Each structure stands twice: as structure tokens, then as C-alpha cells.
Amino acid sequence: MTLNIRLLSLALLSVLAVALGACGGDDGDGAPAADEKRKGGTLTELAAGDVDYLDPGRTYYQFGLQVQYAISRPLYSFVPGKVEEPVPDLAAEMPEISEDKKTVTVRLRRGVRFGPPVSREVVAGDVKYAFERFFSANVGGPYPGHFSALVGAPSEPTRGVKSIRGIETPDDHTIVFRLKEPVGVTFASALVMPVTVPVPADYARKHDARNPSTYNRYVVATGPYMIENDGSGRLTGYQPGRRITLVRNPEWDPRTDHRPAYVDRIVIRTNATDTEIAARQVIRGKGMILDSNPPASVLRELVTRIKDQYVTLPAGGYRFFTLNTEVKPLDDINVRKAISAAFDREAARKARGGRYVGEIATHYLPPGMPGHEEAGGLKGPGVDFLSAENVRGDMELAAEYMRKAGYPSGRYTGNEELLVVGANADPGKAQAEVARAQLEKLGFKVRLRLVPQDALYTRWCLVPARKVAMCAGASWFRDFQDPQSMLEPVFKGSLINRDGPNNNMSMLNDPQVDAAMDLAAAAQGENRARAWAEVDRLIVERAAGIPWLWDTTTLVRSKDVAAEANPYTTLWDLSYTAIRAEE
């Protein structure tokens, strides 16, 4: 009996010890508390490829922006957790927009300095130069359309850097943008883009004289970090296709910046091409983050087992299958509504990776974008052919619309063959095959062309002459946080460019929609969000496309990393990432 009691006690003690052990330790749910973050250490990021550019006048892709916003300060930027509105960064306060919306004035913060080798205070002339070089042929800024409203903005890339008379600098800390049209609200929203990062003319001019500009290898920092360079400014910390090394910028003053900049050093490996291996290294390693979405097999492990080493956030865009309103029989709105009603959007999402890649879209403005909630949020505006309740497709409703279009059987019985174009590699290929299956189930004859991704837009979807009935790989992601930039380029009839490149792939040319856009463009604040939500609803009702996904981005970190996501780049914010203190 005594022995049994001893054994029982031992067993109970063992169970207690195990239970205590399980209860202890870090639960690590999402971003850890601020007191767990410590200054110092080296953060490693694994990336499958290189940045597009380090030159702020040329970079345009997410990864390039992530690095850019760690080494540079645009006029406005985003703080983690606050996606609705940017905060002043290089600017001292929010922009002033004149009553007639043709003048935007920005006052610069004092005390922001260029890093070595320039090592001086940033002045308004540096921002003016940044804009002017952006329009030059040697730099070739990738989004001139966003700033073409500037008075004196060149319509073609300039030979050499030319002054733009619409940008004035009355003093060293004031910059005034004069616009040809009353688009001040949209213009101000675009001041988060990297073109607003200051570039010192005295230092950069000799690089910009070359074609292409060599400033990409001599970028000078204004942010908390800089890329290691030699005395002349040449970036020794940038090994293309291999590594980018960021160190602290000695000229950075934390009192002028919202960024905490915890770590001392950031090593970005740009040759971790096997994303599965890279993701597993990050999960099992220390002090690491991953630059991109993990593959499905790793995502499954994160969601079902690991749980505390990833975050998801809206990617700020929408994917849609275009319906060309000028191609028969899609010129009939009832046919378009039928296709939309029948379309299995869940199948398309699964082709892309399942429910963890994003929410099923019910309209265009994505979560986090002003106007999304006003347009109905996740449930959408409530049209029957694109509702949240029929994501699997409703064949009866589709048949009804087909009968309204003059097909008594409820299926297409005509002779037209629809040209559907998609990418020739997954997941675009999978999406395209889903699209074909959805059209064929309504009786349409489909000719599916699978083309390389880089030709999908430039040679097919953006070329009206190709008469692509459905572009199966269409998407639109924000350049800045304004609904006009999400809807106008893609659906405004007056912007159709028949000679290409044409962003209005649906060829939607509806005067009522255009008029609503013109009205919404002039609105501000909450009225603006409501007005663009109304435009969103009108576009949905025209069935010009089938929006099917609002992407989410999944970001992965090591267990000891305390990281926060930047809602604009939708990647980890390098300036807000820390290595947690050892326990």
C-alpha cells in the first residue's frame, strides 16, 4: 500500500510538472508587447529575388518599397496598424490643399539629414529635384501618370533633368505643387510614393547624367538605416542578386521620426530562391523574417500547428476576371450577369491557394481602402449575380439571365468563340483553367491562350485590338490609399486607349459611371469614401468583370522576432522589427 501511494504521488507530481511546463513559456500570439523588444542585434531577411531598384525614382515593387522606406523618408508614410491615413514623415504636417484643389502645399520637417557622404540637412529643393529627375529619360519613373497634373510636367521623358515650373520652393522648408486640374486630393494621396524621397541634386546630378542613371548604386539615405557605402557613396553593401546590408545611418535623428529602428543591422539575402526551404529556415531559425508569402505546405503548418509566427493583412488590391463589353456576346449585359452568376469564385480562390490567400470579393474596393465599408464591406452591394451567398455559382440564376439575353435553353447556343488569356505558370494558369471551366459550363466555346506572365498584359490584356473576351489574370493593387486610383484607371470610359496600353480591359464606356467618377473625384473626407463606394456599386451593376479575390499577404517570422507589418507595403516593416530579449 505504501509503495502504491508513493508511486501515485510520483505520478501526480510528474503530471503537475508537465502541466506547469506546458503552461509556461511564450504563447507569442501576434506582435509581442513593446517591452519584449530590445534594441540591437542583426535581423536577417530571406528573399527569393532582388529589389527592382534602390533608386527611389525608379523603384515600384513591394520589396523595393520595403527597403526604400527603411533607408529613406518620403513626404508621408504609414505607421503599422494604421492603414486608413498616412502620417507626416519628411513633411512636418498634413498637406494643405487649396479651395480650388489646384495647389498642394507641404511644409518640411526640420532636422532631417542626408546620410554620408552628403551629410547635410534635407531642403525643399531636394524634393523638387527628386520629382524632376523622375520625369527624365535617364531615370524613367514608372508612374508619371500620377503626377502628370503638375503644371509643366513633361508629357514625354525629358532629355536630361529639366525644371518643372509647377513645383515651387519659396523657402528651404516649403514646397508648393501647382496643378493643371482640380485633382489636389488625389495628388496629395500620392505623396506617399517613393518619388517624394529627397535626392540631393549636388550629389546625384553627375549620376543622372548617365543613361541609365547610376544613382541606383549611389543612393544616399535619409531614414534610420543606410546601405553600407564607401567614401564616395558607392554602395558596398549592395551585391545584386545576393545580398543587401543595411546599417544605422549616423545622420538620422530619432526625434524627427516615427520609426523606432530597433535592430542595428539588417542583412537581406536576395538569393533564397527556394521559398519552401527559406520559409522553413525562418520558422525554425532565429532572428529571421521572410519576404514573401510562404508556399501552401508551409502555410498549412503555420495555420494548423505553429500559429504564432505569422500575421496576415490585406494586400490592398483586387483580382477580377474581365468581361470585354465590346466582344460578342459579352456586349449583352444579361450575358455578363449570367457568367458572373454561374462563376464559382471559391474554385478560383482554391486554384490560387485556398481561403488563406484572401477573402472572396463581392465588389472592387478592397478591405482597408476608403469606400470599402461604404460599398457593403465583405458582403458587398447585394447584387444577386455577385453576392456573398453564391460564391460557388448559381446555375439557376445564370440560366435566368441567359434566357433574358435571348437563349431559351438557359445556355449559350451561339457560334462565337471566347478568347480567354491567362499566364502559362501557376497560379495564373490554374485560374485560367478554372475560368474556362466556368464558361464552358454555360455552353460557351473557349479558346484558352496561356502566355508568359510578362506578355499577359503588355501583349494581350492591355491591347484592345486583341479582342480578349476575358483576361484571367487581371488584378489591380493600390499605388496609394485612395479609391479613385483603384477604380478610375480600370473602368473610366474616357480613359480607354484603343492604341494600348489600355487599363480599361473591360472596355467599359458608360456615361453614368464616368459622371459618377467625376463627381467623386472632387469630394473629400467621408464624402469621398461614400462617393467612390457609389461608383464601385455602379461598376458592379454593369457586370464589367467578376471580382473574385481580395488578396491577403501572409508574413512569417522566427520565434524570437517581434515584427510589425507595414500596411502600405504589406511586408514586414524593417524599422519596426526587433529581436526579442533572450529568456
Partner 1 sequence: MDPTRTNAITARSPWALSRSRLRRDRLAMASLCVIVALVLMALLAPLLVRVLGLPGPNVQNPDLLDDFGQPTGPSAEHPLGVDDRGRDIASRVIYGARVSLEVALIATALVVAIGVVVGLVAGYYRGRVDAVLGRLMDLFLAFPVVVLAIGLGVACADGCLGGALRPGMMVVITVIALTTWPYMARLVRGQVLSLREREFVEAARSLGASDRRIIFGEILPNLTAPVIVYATVLVPQNILYEAALSFLGVGVDPSRPSWGAMIADATAIFRDAWWFMAFPGLALLLTVLAFNIVGDGLQDALDPRPAH
Determine which residue in the list 159, 234, 355, 445 makes contact with partner 1, applying CB under 8 A. Answer: 355
CB atoms within 10 A of CB 142: 17
Q: Which CB atom, from 265 or from 449, has the smaller least distance to partner 1?
A: 449
Regarding 347 and contact with partner 1 (CB under 8 A), the answer is yes
Q: What angle do CA 228, 234, 237 make, to 5 degrees?
A: 30
Determine which residue in the list 121, 168, 332, 346 makes contact with partner 1, applying CB under 8 A. Answer: 346
Determine which residue in the list 299, 423, 442, 555 makes contact with partner 1, applying CB under 8 A. Answer: 299
Q: Which CB atom, from 234 or from 355, has the smaller least distance to partner 1?
A: 355
Determine which residue in the list 48, 87, 176, 450 makes contact with partner 1, applying CB under 8 A. Answer: 450
Determine which residue in the list 433, 482, 514, 564 makes contact with partner 1, applying CB under 8 A. Answer: 433
Residue span 356-395 as binding mask against partner 1, x where in contact by CB under 8 A, dash where not: xx--------------------------------------
**What is the distance between the alpha carbons of residues 417 and 161, in angstroms, rounded to a whole number?**
50
Regarding 430 and contact with partner 1 (CB under 8 A), the answer is yes
Regarding 466 and contact with partner 1 (CB under 8 A), the answer is no
Q: Closest distance between partner 1 and the C-beta of residue 336, in Å?
A: 22
Q: Which CB atom, from 107 or from 350, has the smaller least distance to partner 1?
A: 350
**What is the distance between the alpha carbons of residues 453 and 32, in angstroms, rounded to a whole number?**
39
Give the distance, in angstroms, between the CA of residue 453 and the centroid of all CA atoms in the same chain.
18
Regarding 426 and contact with partner 1 (CB under 8 A), the answer is yes
**What is the distance between the alpha carbons of residues 321 and 340, in angstroms, rounded to a whole number?**
9
Regarding 336 and contact with partner 1 (CB under 8 A), the answer is no
Q: Closest distance between partner 1 and the C-beta of residue 418, in Å?
A: 14
- Span 117-156, contacts to partner 1 by CB under 8 A: none
Determine which residue in the list 10, 11, 15, 437 makes contact with partner 1, applying CB under 8 A. Answer: 437
Regarding 434 and contact with partner 1 (CB under 8 A), the answer is yes
Q: Which CB atom, from 225 or from 343, has the smaller least distance to partner 1?
A: 343
Q: Where are the beta strands (DSSP E) in 153-305?
A: 167-171, 174-178, 225-227, 238-239, 243-248, 265-269, 288-290
Interacting span for partner 1 (CB under 8 A) from 113-121, 166-174, 382-390, 445-453 = 445-453
Q: Strand 561-562 and strand 578-580: pairing?
A: antiparallel
Q: Closest distance between partner 1 and the C-beta of residue 552, in Å?
A: 13
- Whether the CA torsion 362, 364, 366, 369 is positive or negative: it is negative
Interacting span for partner 1 (CB under 8 A) from 24-32, 207-215, 290-298, 507-515 = 290-298
- Grid cell at residue 127: 524634393
Q: How far is CA 135 from CA 102, 179, 239, 454, in A?
A: 20, 16, 27, 24
**What is the distance between the alpha carbons of residues 264 and 266, in angstroms, rounded to a whole number?**
7
Identify the three-state secondary structure at position 20: helix
Residue where the block lists cell 459611371: 513
> In this structure, what are the phi and psi dihedrals at residue 170, rounded to the nearest 5 degrees?
-60, -30
Total residues interacting with partner 1, rule: CB under 8 A: 31
Give the distance, in angstroms, between the CA of residue 95 and the centroid of all CA atoms in the same chain.
23
Cβ-proximal residues to 130 (8 Å cutoff; 6+ apart), any chain: 56, 57, 195, 196, 197, 198, 199
Interacting span for partner 1 (CB under 8 A) from 224-232, 425-433, 522-530, 547-555 = 425-433
Q: Which CB atom, from 451 or from 516, has the smaller least distance to partner 1?
A: 451
Residue where the block lists cell 439557376: 396
Q: How far is CA 217 from CA 166, 210, 226, 250, in A?
A: 29, 12, 12, 19
| Interacting residues with partner 1 (CB under 8 A) | 276, 295-297, 299-300, 303, 344, 346-347, 349-357, 424-426, 429-430, 433-434, 436-437, 448-450
